Amino acid sequence: AQSVWGYDKENGPEHWHQNYPMAKGDKQSPIEINSKDVRHDTSLSPWHASYDPGAAKTILNNGRTCRVVFDDTFDRSVLRGGPLTGAYRLRQLHLHWGSADDHGSEHVIDGVKYAAELHLVHWNPKHGNFAGALKQPDGVAVVGVFLKVGKTPKPEMKRILEEIDNIKTKGKEAPFQHFDPSILFPKSRDYWTYHGSFTTPPCEECITWILLREPIEVSPDQMARLRSLSKNGENEPMCPLVDNWRPLQPVKGRIVRASFK
Ligand code: SG7
Ligand code: ZN
């Protein structure tokens, strides 16, 4: 079986439930969004992010993703509105990506897999701390942004991708300061929302997902940079960090709502 979870045959998503039974729960993520089953909800208000560039701290490679960490000791970078009640604090962002452009996202839209998916993870401070929030159905809100390879790449992704050369291998960390992640959002604020889980063990079912309809574009070069990360440590055999996405989970009667028609 698995020693530590991962995305390989021996320790991948099909094994996670052995150590993390929640992985077989009724509200797991990701799911496929089917336009024909989505409910347009006129009561869904727009969402707003107000992020403090000074909250950005470090970027790191943990062997499973690359992650940017933010100071969340007070309400300095917050997400409000949309399906949420109150302000949720930004804790970190990270990405999931594939080994080729035709897959890599976790959520799938009408059968379409994107090349990558960016997740901005926020938590509800009414639960005291992040660990407490994970135990509550309204504990966490994740904004998902799809990345597709295209001709008008978003220069805003550059900051993160430039830094990748400094965190090539597992365990590497570099300072990452003065960064407002709202520069990564697409023009349209349209979104889908549903209740689900973390897409990694222990797969707690505490997430209000807010998935943005409009993807952002990255260049082939930028995708290549992401794929140049390694899941091995510095003095270990080279093993590319790619395909760090969980496959689709059963919807089990959940309703996906859309802010748009
Ligand atoms: C990534 O996705 C990491 C995890 C994150 C996980 O593997 O960014 O974060 C850490 C601290 O390793 O797990 C608890 C948590 O944030 C799952 O997040 S996701 O559901 O948005 N994909
Ligand atoms: Zn994620």
- The per-residue pLDDT string of the chain (261 residues; one tens digit each, 9 = 90 and over) reads 577 999 999 999 999 999 999 999 999 999 999 999 999 999 999 999 999 999 999 999 999 999 999 999 999 999 999 999 999 999 999 999 999 999 999 999 999 999 999 999 999 999 999 999 999 999 999 999 999 999 888 888 999 999 999 999 999 999 999 999 999 999 999 999 999 999 999 999 999 999 999 999 999 999 999 999 999 999 999 999 999 999 999 999 999 999 999
Residue minimizing CA distance to atom 4 of ligand 1: 200
Q: Which ligand is nearest to the CA of 196?
A: 1
- The upper half-sphere exposure of residue 5, i.e. CA atoms within 13 Å in the direction of its Cβ, equals 17
30 CA to middle of ligand 1, Å? 13
Q: Ligand 2 centroid to 185 CA: how many Å?
A: 16
Q: Which of 11, 67, 200 to mutate to test the pocket of ligand 1 (most atoms within 8 A of CB)?
A: 200
Looking at residue 3, what is its pLDDT?
79
Nearest CA to ligand 1 atom 20: 198
* Residue 41 CA, ligand 1 centroid: distance in Å: 29
Residue owning tokens 């993160």: 160
Nearest to residue 106, comparing CAs of 92, 91, 120, 116? Answer: 116
How many Å lie between the centroid of ligand 1 and the Cα of residue 254?
A: 22
Do the Cβ atoms of 61 and 170 come closer than 8 Å?
yes
> Which residues, judged by CB distance below 6 Å to any ligand atom, belong to the binding site of ligand 1?
62, 64-65, 67, 92, 94, 119, 121, 142, 198-200
SS (H, E, C) 236-254: CCCCECCCCCCCCCCCCCC
ipTM of the predicted structure? 0.97
What own/partner pairs with CB < 8 Å and gap ≥ 24 does 162-166 have?
A: 163/59, 164/66, 164/225, 164/226, 164/228, 164/229, 165/225, 166/59
Query: For ligand 1, what atom is nearest to the CA of residue 119?
Result: 21
The amino acid at residue 54 is G
Ligand nearest to the Cα of 116, by number:
2
From ligand 2's centre to the CA of 107, what distance in Å?
A: 10
Minimum-distance ligand 1 atom for the alpha carbon of 144: 21
